[in-house]
Structure 1
Amino acid sequence: MKKLTLLVGLSALTLVAASCGTSDDSSGGGTKSDAGFTAPNLPKLDKLGAGEGKLSVLAWPGYAEDGSNDPKVDWVSSFEKKTGCQVTVKTFGTSDEAVSLMKTGQYDVVSASGDASLRLIAGGQVEPVNTDLVPNYKDVYPFLKDRPWNSVKGQMYGIPHGYGANLLMWRTDKVTTPPTSWSAVFEADSPYKGKVTAYDSPIYIADAAMYLMAKKPDLGIKNPYALDDTQLQAVVDLLKQQKTLVSEYWSDYLKEVQAFTSGNSVIGTTWQVIANVATGEKVPVQVAVPSEGVTGWSDTWMLSATSKNKNCGYLWMDHIISPEANAAVAEYFGESPSNGKACDLTADKKHCATFHAGDAAYSEKIWYWTTPIEQCLDGRTDVKCTDYGKWTQAWTQIKG
């Protein structure tokens, strides 16, 4: 539970962006990505020099531990000793906060989830990375490289860190027939009315959209992050219906663990780490990937375009995905590491199996959190899709 206390700030472990592309345009005007925004033409470091002696890290709680929270949890000190780069760490609780802080130019590197990475790339706050300068990059799982949330047309804008899925969890003593569908938390006739928990964020709209992709194919939803006005309204109607079932919306670990411990909630969306903690607290829970699939996250370390400490930044990105550090972070935080060699170094030898590390087939089941934008991410050009602003307004209506 101590780990959860440190991670309460992780209330909106966010989204995953959309777009892939290089900034290799001779016109100097930037390159339009597949997601519809223009990636600025920014240079990337061509060779690594000596560390500048300091590094300012902006991170999710639990990603850059220096022993101050727990003396046994420290992968910053070894980096400082090895490189001479003295680290200061600022943590954030949401991607919106991370983007705002990066705009100040005060931070050298950031652990960005997908909605942040999309905005940071488009806004020119982060620059392309030269993966040749990150030796441990070669050991990153291939299915995490050159993905819509961390690259633009084949040019990486960051180094993959870790990933996980949003699963369906239930109390096995209250839900005796294991559910195989998200219908148990969305449909009005659910036998668990008043005992359902749901994630408290506009991005949860994507979970309902994913369900409707299978439930109502006539709506034409092909990507849960690409919703036109009609499709969004259908999803909103479903979520308003779900509200009658919900006992509690959660946005941090502790609240969901407590809800399942008390029995106030018996079924709902969760993260694997929450299920692990609940099990450790002797709460009888089980998780599954329902037939409709799951949403999830994948985080990326990114380098500020205005950083004065880019050599230290590159040294940090290589360090944090080294087998030793990546194993420590993944196990402490509760996610899959990005470096396959990390699996040999976790204290819990079952950790990587629990989190499906390196399982490309499992990863492909995940609709990674993506920022909804007007340019439809499913390829449609005859309509405009709803952006995150509209999703935020819709979420306010849903919750009332």
Structure 2
Amino acid sequence: MSKLILNRRKFLGTTAATAGILASPAYLRRAHAAGGEVNVWTYNDFVPADFKKDFEKDTGIQINVRLVDDQGKQFNLLAAEQPNPTVDIMTVAGHRFLQFIENDLLQPLDVDRLPNWSTINPVFSESDWSTINGNKWGAPILSGMEVLAYNNELVPEEDVQSWMTFFSDKYKGQTAYTIQDMMSIVMLMKGYDGNMVAYLDDPERAAEIVAEARDFLIEKKPLVRKYYDGGAEVQQMFVNQDIAMACAWNGPIAALMADGFPVSMTIPKEGSYGFVYTYNIANNCPNLDNAYTFLNAILAEPEIGAAMTRASGFISTFKGADAYLTDAEKAASSFSEEELANLQFFRAEANEMKYGLVDPAVEAIKAA
């Protein structure tokens, strides 16, 4: 992720930054110079710096980026701004589509206004989760998963085969995670459906399972060094050797790996969850035409997808993006077949029930 990470071991990833420069802004010249602005809520490094510079130069449209670090916070902020939001483009994970759609916070995409839609791999753009009520609601840009990340100079491989080691006394004060993400992992670790789909007809059982995961994390709270908020923060903790392992999205960890830092990641035997990030258009957004200009431009070429992968560490959904990545960058986003066999994808069917239970549980853990 961020290239501003300070490393007392003189680790600075300059090569990845220089490799991210796009050769030419020609992919934007089909966009009519429109002027004005487009307001984007997204995660750190999801709008490549060189893309932003070229887009603004070629179109006259200024990109205003507001960084987000949590889907729940983004939902609450957008809901509070209705019916006149300040945002045009936002980044919603596919498994949270329904929550935004059912509250009229997103508008369906008019794919006819996106000639570059075919840049996206159909595995993502035409998958079941991407179409709801007959409409496309987001343009898939990056995919990833929750991983167990660890400093491979401090933690042996045998200690990362199970999530249980993460909660052992051996690594007391050396772990970090985001509580909401860990709630799903703990449910999976205990043999439950972390998506909660299996309990749609049994909300009482769902509440019991969430309470069990909540109480487990409260019991294990003395072992964790920190509940962190964003990718840059967990990167910095690894670089400073404040932690030896973390539950993290693979993107920030892959960025560290690509820069040569001694960190690895795995999917433990109990499994983990994968997801897809999408760019979406907010309902009643103030700059609709500019929003479509932005989307079509960022979908223009696989090099842009590679630039997003290089900056964020997440896996590009663009066809041909791998051709623009170095071998080290490709390696940072690969997993064994055995690991991938333990991967499940987040699903949205039970989100209203799930997050209605999980969000208060997260607050209870913080307050404990």
Q: Aligning the two structures, in what range does the TM-score lie when normalised by the shorter sequence?
A: 0.7 to 0.9
Alignment of 1:4-23 (within 5 A): none
Q: Provide the rounded CA distance (Å) in 2 between the counterparts of 1:78 and 1:157.
A: 26
Give the corresponding residue for 1:286: 264
Offset of residue 371 of structure 1: 8.6
Give the corresponding residue for 1:247. Answer: 225
The residue type paired with residue 184 of structure 1 is T
Distance 2:321 2:108 in 1: 25
The one-letter code matched in structure 1 to 2:3 is K
1:255-266 matched pairs, under 5 angstroms? 255-266=233-244
Whole-angstrom CA distance in 1 between matches of 2:157 and 2:117: 43
Which segment is superposed worse, 233-242 or 281-290? 281-290
3-state SS of the aligned residue for 1:64? coil
| 1:138 alignment counterpart | 118
Deviation of the 1:364 alpha carbon = 8.7
Task: Please state how far the C-alpha of 1:89 moved relative to its aligned partner.
Answer: 0.9
Query: Which amino acid is the alignment partner of residue 332 of structure 1?
Result: A
Offset at residue 157 of structure 1 (A): 0.7
Change in CA separation of 1:371 and 1:260 when aligned onto 2, cut-off 3 Å = farther
Q: Does 1:327 align with 2:306?
A: yes
Instruction: Give yes or no for contact 2:87–2:286 (8 Å, CA) kept in 1.
Output: no
- Structure 2-normalised TM-score? 0.75
Distance across 1 between alignment mates of 2:343 and 2:249: 15
**SS of the counterpart of 1:76?**
helix
> Within 2, Cα distance between the matches of 1:195 and 1:150?
40
8 Å Cα contact 1:205-1:235 kept in structure 2: yes
Query: How far, CA to CA, are the matches of 1:336 and 1:242 in structure 2?
Result: 32
**Contact (CA 8 Å) 1:107, 1:304: kept in 2 or not?**
yes
Aligned counterparts of 2:333 and 2:182: Cα–Cα separation in 1: 21
AA at the equivalent of 1:57? N
Q: Name which of structure 1's ranges 95-104 and 288-297 shifts more when overlaid on structure 2.
A: 95-104
Q: Within 2, Cα distance between the matches of 1:284 and 1:142? A: 35
| Range with bigger deviation, 141-150 or 285-294 | 141-150
- What RMSD, in angstroms, separates the aligned Cα atoms of the two structures? 3.4
Gaps of 5+ in 1: 6-48, 66-72, 214-220, 375-385
Q: Does 1:92 align with 2:92?
A: no
TM-score of the superposition, structure 1-length normalised?
A: 0.69
| Alpha-carbon separation, structure 2, partners of 1:77 and 1:90 | 13
| Equivalent residue, structure 2, for 1:109 | 89
Q: Which has the higher helix share?
A: 2
Cα distance 1:290–1:140, how it changes in 2: closer, same or farther (>3 A)?
same
What is the CA distance between 1:97 and its match in structure 2? 4.4
- Match of residue 62, structure 1, among 45, 61, 82: 45
8 A Cα contact 2:93 2:276, kept in partner: yes
Q: 2:54 maps to which residue?
A: 78
Unpaired segments of 5 or more residues in structure 2?
6-30, 200-205
Tell me if the contact between 1:96 and 1:116 (Cα under 8 Å) persists in the aligned partners. Answer: no
Q: 1:183 aligns with which of 164, 180, 183?
A: 164
- Note if 1:164 corresponds to 2:144: yes
Structure-to-structure mapping, 1:278-357, within 5 angstroms: 278-279=256-257, 284-307=262-285, 309-322=287-300, 323-346=302-325, 348-356=326-334
Percent identity over the alignment? 20
Q: What is the DSSP-based 3-state SS (H/G/I as helix, E as strand, rest coil) of the residue aligned with 2:220? A: helix
1:396 is paired with a residue whose SS is: helix
For each residue in 1:311-364, what CA deviation from the matched residue of structure 2 results, as whole angstroms up to 9, or x when unmatched?
332232121123232222221122111102222234x3442443249x9x9499
CA distance in 2, matches of 1:325, 1:279: 21
Contact kept, 8 Å, 1:4 with 1:253, in 2: the verdict is: no
CA–CA distance in structure 2, aligned partners of residues 154 and 206 of structure 1:
29
Amino acid at match of 1:181: S
Q: Which residue of 2 aligns with 1:224?
A: 195
The answer as to whether partners of 1:164 and 1:336 remain within 8 angstroms in 2 is yes
Task: Give the distance between the partners of 1:91 and 1:98, measured in 2 at CA.
Answer: 11
Give the deviation of 1:300 after TM superposition.
1.0
Displacement of 1:162 in angstroms is: 0.7
> What is the distance in 2 between the residues matched to 1:363 and 1:117?
25
**CA deviation profile, 1:108-136 (whole Å, cap 9, x unmatched):** 22222347643332222321113243233
Look up the equivalent residue of 2:163 and give its one-letter code.
W
- Structure 1 residues 177, 387: closer, same or farther in 2, change over 3 A? closer
Residues 288-321 of structure 1 show CA distances to partners (whole Å, capped at 9, x for unaligned) of 1112222243211112332454333223212112
CA drift of 1:106 comes to: 2.5
> 1:123 aligned to 99, 103, 113, which one?
103
